[in-house]
């Protein structure tokens, strides 16, 4: 059996799960269905596939450290993290992955392309379907997975199955079908010959690249160039932005799969869900006697059929039925569950207004930890900062603000100008405006501190970095920076 290389597509913003999902912290990295994120669940699911190599991850440059950290937290080392400079849909991602796998594993290796933000209740059934698909793909078929439908869904495309191929439950693909209306979806469900299109594909790299060269020659060549000219830094492959931007912005379904011959379908009955918006979570088990599904500190009186997600405070509801309420520390969403698909319109309005709530939570994640603003006013800002053990911030300075640090938990190694010293709990220090400084967690537990900023301008762009272990040097001043930094690697 040829090697199977899982390819996890981890880009996207999950705008229909706002306000929990944000551009800088999208749904695939959220623990929506259990203690692990959807991305981590996907990674763990593929580790049980026979003949599987280490996975390849395609994601956004902005999410690179989050990808690396979530993989590290579950003890998985990918063979590569390929960073897309912009969103170009699944065609470009598939082309990049196929070129990379063919180079690293040979033309005969099998690429298994899948989204990293889907939920599957039965991993064992999923793995059995993948093994069947791998046998079919080894014979030269491009294989897609047809999700066994459980309801007349209008939000998915469908696949019409054809004749059996004589290998397990595999069938020929007769046609890909657009998203139907309700009446058509009911007819599809009753017929038994239609499956949801889950967007998962398994194919021999050479077979797919031959089809791609024939159908999408420009994307074939530009994807190859984007990979060949990629910049390798800190364990990531930064794909060439010029070549990648010339790849066609199209889905793999429309560009290739609907046009090729010898394409097969393996039925997948494993409790699959796209988790595309809040009403998908409403289908998960765990409701109370009144069919309410809640998360966090929630109090309900005379209420039924609600989906309530509280993140930071008590949410109380009286006499509410069939509503969605999502609370975070900086935004609250209230909508009838029947309008869950329209949340994307709210996100679009926030973008037009250039509101920060569409981009980030109050807690902002960095490769070294996180920070959140807890108070601010004219000429001052107060932040809570958390630094992970063994991590440190960049050596930096500010033109417009001074900083006061008070250690709440842990041990800090602090550098201010030419002096380096240790601070423990209940100790503090002052960083004058214009002084170079660095903060490092010198202990084995998370470091927590309160930072009070004072000055005429307190924006995050008032940072000049002189050296940084995460490769985030942004200033020309870096040319004169010390060069004794170590680099973070993914392996």
Q: What is the CATH number of the domain that holds 105?
A: 3.90.550.10
Domain boundary among 273, 296, 321: 273
- Residue 181's CB is within 10 A of a number of other CB atoms, namely 10
Residue 461 lies in a domain: yes
216-248 pLDDT per residue, tens? 999 999 999 999 999 988 789 999 999 999 999
Residue 358 lies in a domain: no
Query: Residue 441 maps to which CATH number?
Result: 2.60.120.10
Residues 232 and 291 in one domain: no
354-405 pLDDT per residue, tens? 998 998 888 888 889 999 999 999 999 999 999 999 999 999 999 999 999 9
Question: What pLDDT is stored for residue 473 in this prediction?
Answer: 64
> Using alpha carbons only, how large is the chain's radius of gyration in Å?
25
Helix (H) / strand (E) containing 441: strand 437-441
Residues 232 and 332 in one domain: no
Residues 367 and 311 in one domain: no
Domain boundary among 273, 303, 331: 273
Residues 86 and 187 in one domain: yes
Residues 373 and 340 in one domain: no
Number of structural domains (the chain) is 3
Distance CA 358, CA 14 (A): 11
Residue 297 lies in a domain: yes
Confidence class of residue 287 from pLDDT cuts 50, 70 and 90?
Answer: confident
Residue 27 lies in a domain: yes
Q: Which two tokens stand for residue 390?
A: 């063994």
Half-sphere CA count of 221, side-chain side, radius 13 A: 4
What residues contact residue 9 under an 8 Å CB cut-off, 6+ apart? 58, 90, 93, 113, 114, 115, 116
Residues 47 and 108 in one domain: yes
Report whether pLDDT(477) > 70. Answer: no
* Pure H helices in 14-88: 38-46, 64-73
Distance CA 42, CA 58 (A): 13
For 165-179, 381-395, 463-477, which range has the lowest pLDDT when averaged over its residues?
463-477
Residue 229 lies in a domain: yes
Burial of 303 (0-12, 13-18, 19+ CB in 10 A): buried
CB-based contact 273:280 (threshold 8 Å): yes
Please give the model's pTM, rounded to 2 decimal places: 0.86
Residues 319 and 452 in one domain: no
Length of the chain: 491
Mean pLDDT computed over every residue of the chain:
90
291-331 pLDDT per residue, tens? 999 999 999 999 999 999 999 999 999 999 999 999 998 99
Residue 54 lies in a domain: yes
Domain boundary among 321, 349, 377: 349
Residues 242 and 95 in one domain: yes
Residues 18 and 142 in one domain: yes
Residues 68 and 189 in one domain: yes
Distance CA 220, CA 202 (A): 18
38-90 pLDDT per residue, tens? 999 999 999 888 888 999 999 998 898 889 889 999 999 999 999 999 888 89
Report whether pLDDT(108) > 70. Answer: yes
Q: Which domain holds residue 300?
A: 282-349
Residue 334 lies in a domain: yes
Residues 160 and 18 in one domain: yes
Question: What pLDDT is stored for residue 179 in this prediction?
Answer: 93
Residue 459 lies in a domain: yes
Residues 286 and 416 in one domain: no
């Amino acid at each position: 059996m040829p090697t199977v290389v899982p390819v996890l597509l981890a880009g996207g913003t999950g705008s229909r799960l706002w306000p929990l999902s944000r551009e800088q912290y999208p749904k695939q990295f959220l623990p929506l269905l259990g203690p692990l994120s959807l991305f981590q669940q996907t990674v763990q699911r593929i580790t049980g596939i026979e003949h599987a190599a280490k996975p390849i991850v395609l994601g956004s440059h902005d999410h690179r450290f989050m990808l690396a950290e979530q993989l590290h937290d579950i003890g998985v080392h990918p063979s590569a993290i390929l960073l897309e400079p912009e969103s170009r849909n699944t065609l470009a991602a598939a082309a990049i992955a196929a070129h990379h796998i063919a180079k690293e594993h040979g033309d005969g290796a099998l690429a298994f392309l899948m989204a990293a933000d889907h939920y599957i209740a039965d991993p064992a059934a999923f793995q059995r379907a993948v093994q069947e698909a791998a046998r079919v793909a080894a014979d030269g078929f491009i294989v897609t997975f047809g999700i066994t439908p459980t309801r007349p869904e209008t939000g998915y495309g469908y696949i019409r199955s054809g004749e059996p191929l004589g290998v397990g439950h595999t069938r020929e693909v007769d046609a890909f079908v657009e998203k139907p209306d309700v009446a058509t979806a009911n007819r599809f469900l009753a017929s038994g010959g239609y499956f949801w299109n889950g967007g998962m594909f398994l194919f021999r790299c050479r077979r797919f690249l031959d089809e791609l060269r024939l159908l999408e020659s420009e994307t074939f060549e530009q994807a190859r160039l984007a990979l060949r000219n990629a910049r390798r830094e800190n364990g990531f492959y930064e794909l060439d932005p010029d070549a990648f931007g010339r790849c066609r912005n199209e889905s793999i379904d429309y560009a290739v799969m609907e046009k090729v011959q010898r394409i097969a379908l393996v039925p997948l009955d494993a409790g699959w869900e796209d988790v595309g918006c809040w009403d998908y979570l409403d289908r998960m088990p765990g409701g109370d006697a009144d069919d309410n599904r809640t998360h966090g500190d929630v109090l309900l009186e005379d209420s039924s059929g609600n989906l309530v997600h509280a993140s930071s405070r008590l949410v109380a509801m009286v006499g509410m039925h069939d509503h969605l309420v999502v609370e975070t520390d900086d935004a609250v969403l209230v909508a009838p569950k029947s309008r869950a698909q329209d949340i994307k319109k709210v996100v679009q309005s926030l973008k037009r207004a250039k509101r920060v709530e569409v981009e980030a939570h109050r807690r902002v994640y960095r490769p070294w930890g996180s920070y959140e603003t807890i108070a601010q006013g004219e000429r001052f800002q107060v932040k809570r900062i958390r630094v992970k053990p063994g991590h440190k911030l960049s050596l930096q300075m500010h033109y417009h603000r001074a900083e006061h640090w008070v250690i709440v938990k842990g041990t800090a190694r602090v550098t201010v100008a030419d002096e380096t010293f240790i601070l423990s709990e209940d100790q503090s220090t002052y960083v004058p405006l214009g002084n170079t400084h660095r903060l490092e967690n010198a202990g084995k537990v998370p470091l927590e501190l309160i930072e009070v900023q004072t000055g005429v301008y307190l924006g995050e762009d008032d940072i000049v970095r002189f050296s940084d272990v995460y490769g985030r040097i942004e200033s020309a001043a870096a040319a004169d920076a010390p060069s004794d930094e170590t680099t973070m690697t993914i392996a």
